[in-house]
Amino acid sequence: TVCDFIFRLKGILEFACQLDNPNGVQSQSTISKSFQDLRSKVTSKNIVFTVCNSPVLIWPNTGFQSSVESLTEASACGDILQWIESDDGGSKKSSKKKDKKKSGPTVVNMKLLFEVTEPAGNTAPSLIRVSTQQHCVKMPLPLDCALSVTTDERLETVCTGLVEALNKQLADMEEVVLQYRKGSSFLVPQPFHFQLPEPAGLITVVYPAGVPDSQLQAVREDLHRKFELPCDRPYLRRANAFHFPDAAYKDGYLRNPHIHLNPPNIEDAKLYLVQGVYSYHHYMQDHVDDNGWGCAYRSLQTICSWFQQQGYVETAVPTHTQIQQALVDVGDKEPRFVGSRQWIGSIEVQAVLNQLLGVTSKIMFVSQGSELATKGRELANHFQTEGTPVMIGGGVLAHTILGVVWSENTGQIRFLILDPHYTGGEDLQTITDKGWCGWKGPEFWDQNAYYNLCLPQRPKSI
């Protein structure tokens, strides 16, 4: 099914409970009672959803009421866009029409609120004095629910689904709190969204804050079985969390510029692409002037970013100095290599990936550039099975290959190239229009130079 919208609801509820004996059997039922109270709260008539950047308020548990008269329980969820102000001051609906190349579903952000005024009762307050020592535990619960829907889904159905998602998330949080607590010491449960292959789609998993992925292996194994996921690659590590289309990346690097390109039209050819997310690393980034010598370092950084963002490693993308030090540590270079402006090639890239990430790579040798046109089968197989970016070095240049279009019958081939020699800012239009990320024919390669290709292999892990 095609998802047109993601309704995302965020809010914070305060969890509070009194524990007479934090280590006693009774404390578990006390904690569960506090969570039950919170679930009652989100199913009460006091709950209100406010749609961000709009005047829209919705009361989902009162037979669907809205602060905007024209939005009723029968309204299609797409009708809400006309009330949401976009970044350019117009409505989100008109922005969506203008932005033909927009990738991914439209995100509708909502906040969870509660009405605090209630009719006063006639009962007098009662006071109870407790003389036993009690532990009072309070912590914020960061609720974050997401629902994928098609444009014609009724708004009432969406809101009912979000209330159900809140209830389920609170139940998942209760399970995490009970499992990881030590006496009156609690870990905050944190929700993460993951986009899984169909039919699972967008799911939410609650992990305990402060517990690293390496200690959550058994949890992930259970989830892989539940959702029938392959057991040879990560889907549910924190780094795999779904990136909402309307959210900016904080590190400033462009992600996957190739998705904005149209593949070349070659008769009888198939498309084989990098799988997952990478960052585009190129000359002059990170306040490092490596123009003229750092292209292979940048290609290596792009590859490292892929392994990081697919959840295989938690280490940061290495700097030029760290790359050079790794080559010294494995005995490939002399100590004076660190801090130099010396080039590296595919063999060094292979060594660094193994040293810093524990990743093995295959090397493909091509005696002259004209031979690259015959390597369609090998490259197609790599992108189909491993799906990692490929570093290619030849002559004095290094590039990153992100995919091929290849015809098995005619042998025709085009290469999807990410060029690390770009020296400008992170301007997607310039990068795609000027061919810094683009499709190239076999003539792109120096026909007489020899080339080495480094093909990183996926580790088998979840």
Give catalytic status of residue 419 as yes or no.
yes
Look-up of token digits 């306040």: 287
Q: 272: closest CA among 109, 398, 385?
A: 385
Collapsed DSSP state (helix, strand, coil) of residue 66: strand
Contacts of 362 (CB under 8 A, 6+ apart): 454, 455, 457
Q: 235 burial class (0-12, 13-18, 19+ CB within 10 angstroms)?
A: buried
- H-run or E-run covering 50: strand 47-51
Give catalytic status of residue 295 as yes or no.
yes
Of 213, 290, 419, 454, which residue is the catalytic one? 419
Given a contact cutoff of 8 angstroms between Cβ atoms, the answer to whether 166 and 143 are in contact is yes
121-160 burial code (b ≥16 CB/10 A, e <16): eeeeeeeeeeeeeeeebeeebbbbbbbbbeeebbbbebbb
**Rg, Å, the chain Cα set:** 27
Q: Is the peptide bond before 318 cis (omega within 30 degrees of 0)?
A: no
Of 135, 243, 260, 421, which residue is the catalytic one? 421
Distance of CA 336 to the CA centre of its chain: 39
Give catalytic status of residue 282 as yes or no.
no
Of 17, 145, 159, 295, which residue is the catalytic one? 295
Rounded CA-CA distance 331/250 in Å is: 36
What positions carry a catalytic annotation? 295, 419, 421
